């Protein structure tokens, strides 16, 4: 049996540059990953199947549209004689939450199929299968910090960034991605006038990274807050937490993150938020 982690993806920044003729939005985003995530295993075999367990399994479902199965089918279309098998997903991340849970599961499935079939990590068929499965799947293949551009398919070099002690909070409201983008109101072919994304240096020290992040933003925050007003409260709670250096929404929401100077400060804030909002999903995480 082959096993891999499917870590949560966090967009530290997400700048919208415009809308392409194909309807997708062109963006620039600094993406990092967290220790928190799902676990996926594969028992190689001829038949493709999926079983899902874990706290958020009911929301994720194990149907044909689960991204694990879609990714596997997309790879099978590209690799003749691909050995598939039985996937088991331990689902812990909230679903439709802006932290790429489904995308990370899909990328994990591709990594496991690559291992089971002796494909190298740089095999272009893996990347192609990732791209057609979803915009966030290519960046989840390596699950390491990098800039993501285009609609998500264009990836910058891997970045070595300092560990950022963080708290992730999801207020329990699923947010569908498509209507959040639609609320930007951009027409196909339309460009946005915006300041250039700050350049993130490989190996940037934590203080420099934080200063740079504070000059960035998530352009989906306002439309997501209109769709799910509880995100406004989530951000307010994080910003009020003792020691919070920066709080922002990830992806199209509703999960928000806050960065702290030390893991201890992050853990203390997480405890306080859990007491205040026992119904929210609150997780300490080391982002990098
Ligand atoms: O690629 P994916 O299926 O994950 O995207 C879901 C939806 O989000 C798309 O149908 C599209 O409406 C929107 N989207 C977008 N621009 C992106 C990524 C996603 O408009 N860069």
Q: In whole angstroms, what is the distance from residue 255 CA to residue 272 CA?
A: 17
Every domain range in the chain assigned CATH 3.30.230.10: 2-155
Check if 136 is active-site. yes
68 is written with which tokens?
């694990």
Is domain 2-155 annotated with CATH 3.40.50.1980? no
Helix axes 263-276, 230-240, angle to 10 degrees: 130
Which residue out of 9, 105, 219, 283 is catalytically annotated?
9
Tell me what pLDDT residue 195 has.
Answer: 82
10 is written with which tokens?
């966090």
Best probe residue, ligand 1, of 11, 24, 150, 189 (max atoms within 8 Å of C-beta): 24
ipTM: 0.98
Q: How far is CA 85 from the centre of its chain?
A: 25
Tell me what pLDDT residue 194 has.
Answer: 84
Q: How far apart are the first and last CA of the chain?
A: 28
* Residue among 259, 62, 72 nearest 168 (CA): 259
**Ligand 1 centre and the CA of 187: distance in Å?**
14
pTM: 0.97
* Residue among 202, 255, 263 nearest 230 (CA): 255
**180 marked as part of a ligand binding site:** no
Best probe residue, ligand 1, of 178, 180, 188, 224 (max atoms within 8 Å of C-beta): 178
**Ligand 1 centre and the CA of 231: distance in Å?**
20
Tell me what pLDDT residue 259 has.
Answer: 98
Tell me what pLDDT residue 270 has.
Answer: 98
Tell me what pLDDT residue 102 has.
Answer: 97
Which residue out of 38, 91, 105, 136 is catalytically annotated?
136
**Ligand 1 centre and the CA of 199: distance in Å?**
25
**100 marked as part of a ligand binding site:** yes
Q: In whole angstroms, what is the distance from residue 57 CA to residue 69 CA?
A: 15
**Ligand 1 centre and the CA of 181: distance in Å?**
8
**103 marked as part of a ligand binding site:** yes
Q: Provide residues with CB under 6 Å of ligand 1.
A: 24-25, 27, 134-136, 151-152, 177-178, 181
- Per DSSP, the residues of the chain read -EEEEEEEEEES-BEEEEE-TTSPEEEEEEEEEEEEEEEEEEEEESS-EEEEESTTHHHH--STTSHHHHHHHHHHTTSTT--EEEEEEE--SPSSSSS-HHHHHHHHHHHHHHHHHT--TT-HHHHHHHHHH-TTHHHHHHTS-EEEETTTTEE--------EEEEEEE-S----HHHHHHTT-PPTT-B---PPPPP--TT--HHHHHHHHHT--BTTHHHHHHH-THHHHHHHHHHHSTTEEEEEE-TTSS-EEEEESSHHHHHHHHHHHHHH-TTSEEEEEEE-
**CB-count exposure of residue 187 (10 Å: 0-12, 13-18, 19+):** exposed
130 is written with which tokens?
């990732």
Beta-strand relationship, 146-149 and 154-155: antiparallel
pLDDT tens-digit profile, the chain (288 residues): 999 999 999 999 999 999 999 999 999 999 999 988 999 999 999 999 999 999 999 999 999 999 999 999 999 999 999 999 999 999 999 999 999 999 999 999 999 999 999 999 999 999 999 999 999 999 999 999 999 999 999 999 999 999 999 999 999 999 999 999 999 999 999 999 888 898 998 999 999 999 999 999 999 999 999 999 999 999 999 999 999 999 999 999 999 999 999 999 999 999 999 999 999 999 999 999
**94 marked as part of a ligand binding site:** yes
Q: Which CATH architecture has domain 164-287?
A: 2-Layer Sandwich (3.30)
């Amino acid at each position: 049996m082959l096993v891999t982690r499917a870590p949560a993806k966090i967009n530290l920044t997400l700048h919208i540059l415009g809308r392409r003729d194909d309807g997708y939005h062109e963006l620039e985003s600094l993406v990092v990953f967290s220790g928190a995530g799902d676990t996926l295993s594969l028992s190689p075999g001829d038949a493709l199947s999926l079983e899902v367990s874990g706290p958020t399994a009911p929301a994720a479902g194990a149907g044909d549209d689960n991204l694990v199965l879609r990714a596997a089918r997309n790879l099978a279309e590209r690799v003749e004689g691909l050995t598939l098998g039985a996937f088991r997903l331990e689902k812990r991340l909230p679903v439709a939450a802006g932290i790429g849970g489904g995308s990370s599961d899909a990328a994990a499935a591709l990594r496991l199929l690559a291992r089971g079939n002796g494909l190298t990590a740089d095999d272009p068929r893996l990347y192609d299968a990732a791209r057609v499965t979803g915009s966030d799947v290519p960046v989840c293949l390596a699950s390491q910090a990098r800039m993501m551009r285009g609609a998500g398919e264009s990836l910058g070099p891997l970045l070595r960034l300092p560990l950022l002690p963080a708290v992730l909070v999801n207020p329990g409201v699923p947010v569908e991605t498509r209507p959040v983008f639609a609320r930007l109101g951009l027409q196909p072919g339309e460009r946005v006038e915006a300041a250039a994304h700050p350049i993130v240096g490989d190996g940037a020290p934590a203080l420099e990274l934080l200063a740079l992040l504070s000059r960035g933003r998530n352009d989906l925050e306002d439309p997501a807050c209109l769709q799910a007003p509880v995100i406004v409260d989530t951000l307010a709670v994080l910003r009020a937490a003792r020691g919070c250096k920066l709080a922002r929404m990830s992806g199209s929401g509703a999960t928000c993150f806050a960065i702290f100077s030390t893991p201890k400060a992050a853990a203390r804030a997480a405890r306080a938020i859990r007491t205040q909002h026992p119904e929210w999903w609150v997780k300490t995480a080391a982002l990098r």
